């Protein structure tokens, strides 16, 4: 019997790619070239499965060009790069990597929020420029995190993990808005209060975005929403670019309509809106919230577990669209 062929679309830990080689003919990409849409489609010719990341877009056109493709396994919890309806219509399995990155991403989201509140990046840049000549009472004066009101938009696994840090570690009052309210047994230990989006914007001292990207969450934070926030508030985004209108945020930061922001994700990344690069009161990181050795290995392993199970008649651990299982042929 011929072994199925799979594509590993991006460079990833060699020993984890070797796990795939035990089952499949593998075409990998150790040079980590980013394929154009046409190149990705051509690379998928004859492949039964693909290991992908958030950088690879899987849409109807690509699936139609590759009708033999049966599974696309994302090394990411977010899967807005995959047209799941198009996968469903063609019986293609999509998988993601939930849970394994929750705590690591929450650590980073909390760190970014603290960095914005306490002006860490801005003051570090000042020091590096050689501008520090004296102490003064109001130099880089910021706002407290402990005891403040933590607002969370999107109270899924990562949102709850950030809330735990705030409530249990920093004595914060947690308010949140989400599509649906959490069960009382999840709210109670955090003292978390479900509020309208408008109340969340008005009341939060530190607002953290952890909502998945979709048409519904596109520009969930734009000029109108920023206008409701306190002038002393901070905004942190560890969700997806596109949840925030970056141009509107840059303008609000420049005019000090909010105090500071911290962003790990950007509209059109790896490009960054030029106005964000010139406003001082924003911390900018290149989409690294899940980037620890242990977590990135766990994500890659889980994507590989999914791909192996999908193509060998097993049960993929974290399917996005389990309704297409069992896969044909
Ligand atoms: C990934 C992420 O690093 O899991 C996600 O949704 O955003 C990050 O953890 C990125 O998407 C690469 O696949």
Any atom of ligand 1 within 6 Å of the Cβ of 54: yes
Show which residues are catalytic: 240, 269, 287
Q: Which of 50, 54, 96 to probe ligand 1 with, by most ligand atoms within 8 A of CB?
A: 54
Residues 154 and 271 in one domain: yes
> Residue 35 falls within a domain, yes or no?
yes
Q: Are 224 and 135 in contact (CB under 8 A)?
A: no
Dump pLDDT digits (tens) for 295-312: 999 999 999 999 999 999
Dump pLDDT digits (tens) for 69-116: 999 999 999 999 999 999 999 999 999 999 999 999 999 999 999 999
What values do phi and psi take at 214, rounded to 5? -160, 175
Q: How high is the pLDDT of residue 2?
A: 86
> Residue 329 falls within a domain, yes or no?
no
Cα–Cα dist 200/197, whole Å: 5
The domain of 249 spans 102-284
Query: Mean pLDDT of all residues in the chain?
Result: 98
Residues 57 and 115 in one domain: no
N- to C-terminal Cα distance for the chain? 13
Residues 314 and 277 in one domain: no
Residues 170 and 270 in one domain: yes
Residues 6+ apart with CB under 8 A from 114: 120, 145
Any atom of ligand 1 within 6 Å of the Cβ of 191: no
Residues 6+ apart with CB under 8 A from 117: 142, 143, 144, 145, 148, 206, 234, 259, 260
Q: How high is the pLDDT of residue 328?
A: 77
Number of domains in the chain: 2
Say if residue 206 is exposed, middle or buried (CB neighbours under 10 Å; 0-12, 13-18, 19+): buried
Q: Are 264 and 238 in contact (CB under 8 A)?
A: yes
Residues 48 and 88 in one domain: yes
Residue 141: Cβ within 10 Å count: 9
Indicate which residue's Cα is closest to atom 1 of ligand 1: 76
Residues 298 and 254 in one domain: no
Dump pLDDT digits (tens) for 23-77: 999 999 999 999 999 999 999 999 999 999 999 999 999 999 999 999 999 999 9
Residues 153 and 213 in one domain: yes
> Residue 164 falls within a domain, yes or no?
yes
Residues 205 and 73 in one domain: no
- Which regions of 86-199 does DSSP assign to beta strands (E)? 93-95, 149-153, 173-177, 193-194
Residues 234 and 319 in one domain: no
> Residue 222 falls within a domain, yes or no?
yes
Pick from 151, 150, 202: nearest CA to 177 = 151
Indicate which residue's Cα is closest to atom 8 of ligand 1: 76
> Residue 311 falls within a domain, yes or no?
yes
Torsion angle in degrees (nearest 10) through CA of 301, 264, 174, 205: 170
Residues 255 and 243 in one domain: yes
Q: What is the pTM of this model?
A: 0.97
Say if residue 237 is exposed, middle or buried (CB neighbours under 10 Å; 0-12, 13-18, 19+): buried
Residues 85 and 110 in one domain: no
Instruction: Give the CATH number of the domain where residue 278 resides.
Output: 3.40.50.720
Cα–Cα dist 154/152, whole Å: 6
């Amino acid at each position: 019997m011929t072994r199925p062929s799979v594509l590993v679309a991006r460079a990833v830990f060699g020993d984890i790619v070797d796990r795939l080689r035990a089952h499949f003919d593998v075409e990998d990409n150790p040079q980590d070239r980013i394929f154009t849409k046409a190149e990705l489609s051509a690379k998928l010719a004859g492949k039964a499965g693909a290991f992908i990341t958030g950088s690879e877009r899987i849409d109807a056109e690509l699936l139609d060009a590759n009708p033999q493709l049966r599974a696309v396994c994302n090394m990411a919890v977010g899967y807005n790069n995959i047209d799941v309806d198009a996968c469903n219509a063609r019986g293609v399995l999509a998988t993601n990597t939930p849970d394994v990155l929750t705590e690591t991403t929450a650590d980073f989201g909390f760190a970014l929020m603290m960095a914005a509140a306490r002006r860490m990046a801005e003051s570090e840049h000042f020091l590096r420029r050689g501008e520090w000549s004296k102490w003064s009472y109001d130099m880089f004066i910021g706002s407290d995190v402990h005891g403040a009101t933590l607002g969370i938009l999107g109270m899924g696994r990562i949102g709850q993990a950030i809330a735990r840090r705030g409530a249990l570690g920093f004595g914060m009052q947690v308010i949140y808005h989400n599509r649906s309210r959490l069960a009382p047994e999840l709210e109670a230990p955090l003292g978390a209060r479900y509020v309208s989006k408008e109340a969340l914007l008005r009341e939060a001292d530190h607002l953290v975005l952890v909502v998945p990207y979709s048409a519904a969450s596109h520009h969930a934070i734009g000029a109108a929403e920023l206008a409701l926030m306190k002038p002393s508030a901070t905004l942190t985004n560890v969700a997806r670019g596109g949840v925030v209108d970056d141009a509107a945020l840059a303008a609000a930061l420049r005019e000090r309509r909010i105090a500071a922001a911290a962003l790990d994700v950007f509209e059109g990344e790896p490009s960054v809106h030029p106005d964000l690069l010139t406003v001082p009161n924003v911390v900018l990181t290149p989409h690294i919230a899940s980037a620890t050795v242990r977590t990135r290995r766990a994500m890659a392993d889980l994507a590989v577990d999914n791909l192996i199970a999908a193509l060998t008649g097993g049960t993929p651990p974290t399917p996005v669209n389990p309704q297409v299982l069992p896969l044909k042929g």
